[in-house]
Amino acid sequence: MPTFTDLDVVRDAQLNTDSARRFFEVLTTGDDLSSMTGLVEEHYHAHDPANEQDVIGLDHFRRDMDMWRGGFDFSFRIEDRIAQGGRVCTRWSW
């Protein structure tokens, strides 16, 4: 029999899954990345070995994504998504 704790975990996993889905939707639709607020931390820090300088902060993340979106036919195909606890893994093709 489920308990309230179990229901909270299921709800949180669903919210995290929805956030992961929205992340990819925002990247591929429209020009405005302002809706990334709430999906990406304000103090985001990317460690990409291909870049000499790390991307730090939400504004830099938006500029980086604008560069990628402007340089390619930017579309994703979500293959599947798995959520467990506070983690979500999305397998996608570009």
For residue 48, the enclosing domain spans 4-93
CATH of the domain at 24: 3.10.450.50
| Percent of residues, the chain, with pLDDT higher than 90 | 7
| pLDDT value at residue 80 | 92
Neighbour count for residue 73 (Cβ, 10 Å): 6
| pLDDT value at residue 3 | 57
Where do we find the tokens 């983690």? Answer: 87
| pLDDT value at residue 73 | 79
Q: What's the pLDDT tens digit per position in 29-54? A: 867 888 888 888 899 898 888 888 88
The structural domain count of the chain equals: 1
Tokens of 74: 């930017």
| pLDDT value at residue 89 | 92
Burial of 14 (0-12, 13-18, 19+ CB in 10 A): exposed
pLDDT at residue 68 is higher than 60:
yes
Tokens of 53: 């300088």
| pLDDT value at residue 4 | 58
